[in-house]
Structure 1
Amino acid sequence: MSDYTVSPPVEGRSRRRWVVLLLCWASLTMTSVDRSTWGPASLQAGAELGVSLAGLGAFATAYYVGYVLSNLGGGLLGDRIGSRVVLSGSLFTAGGFMVAFGSVSSAGAGIAVQALIGLCAGADFAAGVKLVASWFAERERGLAMGVFTMASSLGTMIANAIVPRLIQVYDWRASYQLFGIVSMGLALLCLALLRDRRGPSERPPPLRRLVRERDLLLLGLAGFGGLWGTYGFVTWSNALMVNGHGIDPVAAGTVVVVFAAAGAVGKPVIGLATDLAGVGRKRPALAVLVAFAGCLLVFGGLTSESAFLVMAAFAGLGAYLYTPLLVAMVAGLSGTALAGSAAGAMNATAQLGSVAVPVVVGAVYQATGSFAAAFATLAAGPLAGAVALSFVREAAASARPRSPQSARV
């Protein structure tokens, strides 16, 4: 295709790779903002749309159902027609539906539009992984994926810092309309400046290679457990702190900002550290998942705003630092020719945790009225993810020979 830059084996030293990384990061940041807006907006939106506390989880679940489907389709499509078009189209249409959600008048319409936002937004993750893996060599990929996946943390920070204040001045609808317009403008910039990159004879190998990849499935299950805890916290912590302990909504949003800020800072640091150490990414990811589960259990036993703020920083490190490590491992397993499909399949499996956890935690809290029980339910996810990750054969995967095309990053 005419959009592809034929790439000589320069080991990813082209200066353009930093432009690609910046745009992929910005795109994922905006879809993460779009995804995270529901958390701080949910109580006000639910009250206006006539939705019960437990029913608020249905909106997040609807989003993640669409998100899972578009991860699968977007990854496959990006490997075949190019990730530039897929990423830009994903961001533009998601922004359009964000604007539409700001005008819904009923719960049913809102749930449907949330599903459409997710269906459009999910493709940008796989497309971004494909672009970053194609432009950065293996020895730089931990740092690159750390910077790229900072976006999910920053999206949570931005949403929780801005949405409560927009609600105070305007209403919850203003945040959806603002973020939707920004997303659409950024999509046009990505379409103009991004470039796909592949070798002169590279063709995506058969997908059956991924179907047979046991370690890829295990990475997906590890991500499932991790995201169960991460996005369960992002979706429910505001409402649980406000309703369970009477925390002011702006203060509760600040807690989640601290949670996400810790992850944002830590992601590139742990990515760079594993690049420099050269000893693999499995064991650091295992340690992070186990520590995250412990932090969630402790968080569930707290009662004061100051204690929540302190523990949020530690929980945020656990909630986000495993992500760049798992994503970098995916690219190593698949090679760059199938990086989009592999990342989409892995993230679709992982995001099933995000689909299930809002409804499950809502049901647990409604049945028990227990803040601690809700967070114990969240903690079960990263513990299960650590068990799945322990079976990944990282050494075997890294020793597996790669094709000349996939090595030509």
Structure 2
Amino acid sequence: MAENPRRWLILGLGLSAQASACTFLYGLPFLVPDIRAAEGLSLAQVGVMVSAPTVGLLLTLIAWGAAADRYGERIVMALGLGAAGLLLAAGSLGTHDVTLLAVLLLVAGAASASVNAASGRVVMGWFGPRERGLAMGIRQTAQPVGVGIAALTLPFLGQAFGYRAALLFPAGLCVLLAILVAVLVQDPPRPPRKETERTRSPYLGSSALWRLHGASSLLVVPQFVISAFSLEYLVSVQHWTPGGAGVFLGVVQAAGAAGRIVTGRWADLVGSRLRPMRQLAVASTLVMLLLALGDRVAPWLAVAVIAIGAVITVADNGLGFTATAELAGTAWSGRALGAQNTAQNIAAALTPPLLGALVGAFGYATAFAVGAAFPLLAIIATPVAAEDAHREATELTAGSK
């Protein structure tokens, strides 16, 4: 493992690039009240619009991961993120048609998928096993940081200028970070092309990666149960102002970012990514049940659990990514991280519209209770034993050299 003294700068740029994409990928829920007021959409309809970037993202993640494996991380991140920013700006300025805007959001999400696999791959390439959990934990703060930035800015911009004008803010961030990535990021060393092409797929002969993708996807559901409609829930049920709810959720997202770093360091210290991930699945199950209880009998409890749950339900994300890259190996890490992201974003895309439909039919408490089933299944699916076997095999191979 070559140690690059610029690796922390590269990590910071990877984090910032991912965060800029997340301001619109996962920040659209903070414009839901403004979108509904401007366009007259139902909660289920606006859920479809909120999911459009995520749908685009999942359609191209594996392809972008393969491109990163083949051509390098820097050019893939810069091209995709720059295109996403321009498409988002075009959607904001170039159309008044809601359907066309949703299509442009979808295509912008597809372009931004370049950052997901490539930024994870570049971090994995420059950090060794003893720092990797911490580094990936820091990198995975990109989502709560991006969502936090969105929470602190988009509700105010939407109220002041309209939701379309508010979209220019994440568009500008994406273009700026694309330029910085193109100038400053350095690709890590990689195996020779012929050796890479001979490497056997890690998906053949083992269920470990399949189970890991499944468990990670199940754990996305409680995360989006909390994040997708928290602002709408606080405004419509708890009667908060949009600005006040945005500030509250922005602070909560900052706590979620810190939680990912702590979780990454925890994984380094215990020498496992998946044991902590399984323990967090237990905690997420309890969060969902308490949230349902709070909505039903104690509104103050629901608000407290939203704050706690926004930390717990995102804390496992870096663990799943790190374990995926380690189990896949260098030659396949881009594609494996793309597959990991695809599986997670299928869950992320389906959760808002289905949650909106559940809330409309049965109320928030029922929707929150249903959300508890998914982390419960993740406890069973997480392949802890496979991780142990892989680590032992890696240590045995290293010792024989």
**The two structures share one fold, judged by TM-score above 0.5:** yes
CA contact (8 A) 2:201 2:332 kept: no
CA contact (8 A) 1:255 1:312 kept: no
Change (3 A) 1:396 1:36: same
User: Which of 365, 386, 389 in structure 2 is aligned with 1:396?
Assistant: 389
CA contact (8 A) 2:287 2:309 kept: yes
Q: Give a deviation string over 1:44-84, Cα, whole Å, max 9, x none.
A: 11332232122111113322221112211111110001111
**Which residue number corresponds to residue 6 of structure 1?**
none
Query: 1:308 offset after TM fit, Å?
Result: 4.5
**What code does the residue aligned with 1:355 have?**
A
- What CA distance in whole angstroms lies between the structure 2 residues aligned with 1:188 and 1:404? 41
**What code does the residue aligned with 1:210 have?**
P
**What code does the residue aligned with 2:126 have?**
W
User: Which of 339, 351, 357 in structure 2 is aligned with 1:357?
Assistant: 351
Using the TM superposition, name which of 252-261 and 26-35 deviates more: 252-261
- What CA distance in whole angstroms lies between the structure 2 residues aligned with 1:366 and 1:404? 55
- What CA distance in whole angstroms lies between the structure 1 residues aligned with 2:19 and 2:139? 9
- What CA distance in whole angstroms lies between the structure 1 residues aligned with 2:20 and 2:225? 20
Q: Give a deviation string over 1:319-375, Cα, whole Å, max 9, x none.
A: 11111111111121012222111111111112111121111111111112x111121
User: Which of 291, 295, 302 in structure 1 is aligned with 2:283?
Assistant: 291
- What CA distance in whole angstroms lies between the structure 2 residues aligned with 1:306 and 1:189? 43
Please report the TM-score for the alignment, with normalisation by the length of structure 1.
Answer: 0.90
**What code does the residue aligned with 1:69 have?**
L
Change (3 A) 1:180 1:397: same
**What code does the residue aligned with 1:351 have?**
N
Change (3 A) 1:179 1:249: same
**Which residue number corresponds to residue 44 of structure 1?**
34
**Which residue number corresponds to residue 197 of structure 1?**
188
- Secondary structure at 2:44's aligned position in 1? coil
User: Which of 163, 166, 182 in structure 1 is aligned with 2:157?
Assistant: 166
- What CA distance in whole angstroms lies between the structure 1 residues aligned with 2:50 and 2:385? 30
- What CA distance in whole angstroms lies between the structure 2 residues aligned with 1:207 and 1:74? 19
- What CA distance in whole angstroms lies between the structure 2 residues aligned with 1:404 and 1:391? 20
**What code does the residue aligned with 1:367 have?**
A
Matched, 1:152 2:146: no
- What CA distance in whole angstroms lies between the structure 2 residues aligned with 1:244 and 1:377? 19
**What code does the residue aligned with 1:74 have?**
W
**Which residue number corresponds to residue 26 of structure 1?**
16
**What code does the residue aligned with 1:218 have?**
R
- Secondary structure at 1:302's aligned position in 2? helix
Change (3 A) 1:403 1:199: farther
CA contact (8 A) 1:94 1:183 kept: yes
- What CA distance in whole angstroms lies between the structure 2 residues aligned with 1:233 and 1:309? 11
**Which residue number corresponds to residue 269 of structure 2?**
276
Matched, 1:228 2:221: yes
User: Which of 24, 40, 48 in structure 2 is aligned with 1:58?
Assistant: 48
Q: Give a deviation string over 1:127-176, Cα, whole Å, max 9, x none.
A: 01110111111111000000100011111111111111222332222321
Residue segments in structure 1 that go unaligned for 5+ positions in a row: 1-10
Change (3 A) 1:328 1:339: same
**What code does the residue aligned with 1:342 have?**
A
Query: 1:404 offset after TM fit, Å?
Result: 9.6
Change (3 A) 1:199 1:127: closer
- What CA distance in whole angstroms lies between the structure 2 residues aligned with 1:142 and 1:340? 17
Q: Give a deviation string over 1:376-408, Cα, whole Å, max 9, x none.
A: 233222222222115661111222349999xxx
- What CA distance in whole angstroms lies between the structure 2 residues aligned with 1:16 and 1:404? 30
User: Which of 242, 252, 266 in structure 2 is aligned with 1:249?
Assistant: 242
Matched, 1:182 2:173: yes
Change (3 A) 1:392 1:102: farther
**Which residue number corresponds to residue 97 of structure 2?**
106
**Which residue number corresponds to residue 310 of structure 1?**
304
**What code does the residue aligned with 2:228 have?**
T
- Secondary structure at 1:122's aligned position in 2? helix
Using the TM superposition, name which of 258-267 and 143-152 deviates more: 258-267
Using the TM superposition, name which of 258-267 and 203-212 deviates more: 203-212
**What code does the residue aligned with 2:239 have?**
G
Using the TM superposition, name which of 76-85 and 311-320 deviates more: 311-320
Total equivalences in the alignment: 393
CA contact (8 A) 2:11 2:139 kept: yes
Change (3 A) 1:396 1:74: same
User: Which of 255, 260, 265 in structure 2 is aligned with 1:262?
Assistant: 255
**Which residue number corresponds to residue 326 of structure 2?**
332
**What code does the residue aligned with 1:382 have?**
P
CA contact (8 A) 1:205 1:338 kept: no
> RMSD over aligned Cα, in angstroms?
2.2
Q: Report the identity percentage.
A: 27
Using the TM superposition, name which of 233-242 and 176-185 deviates more: 233-242
- Secondary structure at 2:124's aligned position in 1? helix
Q: Give a deviation string over 1:203-229, Cα, whole Å, max 9, x none.
A: 434575133141111111111111112
- Secondary structure at 2:42's aligned position in 1? coil
Change (3 A) 1:348 1:206: farther
**What code does the residue aligned with 2:28 have?**
W
**Which residue number corresponds to residue 337 of structure 2?**
343
Using the TM superposition, name which of 243-252 and 290-299 deviates more: 243-252
